Amino acid sequence: MNKSEIVTKIIGGFLEQNGFKYESFDEDEIGRKSWSYFRLLRQIKQSITINDRPGFGLDLILYTNGFGQNQLHLKKMQIPEGYSLNTFKCFDYETEADFIRGLEMFRYLIEYQGFQELEKRSFHKSEARCKEETDRYLYENLEELINEYSMRLGIDPRNLNNWKEKMEMVFREVIRLSSQDLHIVEKDVLGLAAVYGEIVATLLDRQWAWRDIKDLPHCIIDLSQYSTGESPTVQVFQVWRTGKFDDIIERNERRLIKKQNNETLT
């Protein structure tokens, strides 16, 4: 069966009637497929994706780029009577008729639950988020911010001795500031982002870069060998909101180990 044609017929046309546009189709080397659609509402991007994973089944995912908003998966929706999910909380199918039946259920869920759930997620939960204007200020004032806030903390971000402790100092200062109004301390938070980013850049021997891609952070540490890049503003605002940072330090430790292993191989 031509799955893309079926998805277009059952889901695509229905979504286009409701202002959505086709965005992309992806398929990886083990046969996992996904079809994505989107629309813009009040400058918020609403997205609907259908995933087809061999051995797991069909999944429906609804999400927006509203900052701090969670994705909504099929397993969290109210499944209509007569349908059921498998142990992976996906919809099982074996035949083309099953595949069509699953998509018809998705269309029903989108119409009677999905649009409403997307509307609920179409705003930013917090202004503590990575915005182009904050990233631009950070990028254009990088050296000044690194120098000023390194001195305030009493650390040298380019000296890798005790780098974990230095990151922790940065994040604990972010947490301390989080009790205040962001509009008052935003420059301080960006200064701390600059120091954190410089530690990462030095640790992994990478460079700061400006990435001009819509809906993605702009001021990043270019980690092209390891990932799509590290956004210091995303990380400090995550700490601002959650008060947690152990996972960030652990992730950078794994990156360092990978870098060292690659150097050993060469």
More confident residue, 81 or 218: 81
Closest CA relative to residue 207, chosen from 187, 178, 230: 230
pLDDT at 38 over 50: yes
- Taking the complete model, does pTM exceed 0.85, yes or no? no
pLDDT class of 42 with cuts at 50, 70, 90: confident
Is 165 buried (19+), middle (13-18) or exposed (0-12) by CB count in 10 A?
A: exposed
Q: What percent of the chain has pLDDT over 70?
A: 91
Instruction: Write down the mean pLDDT value for the chain.
Output: 88
Structure confidence by residue, pLDDT tens digits, 126-181: 554 556 788 888 889 999 999 999 999 999 999 999 999 999 999 999 999 988 87
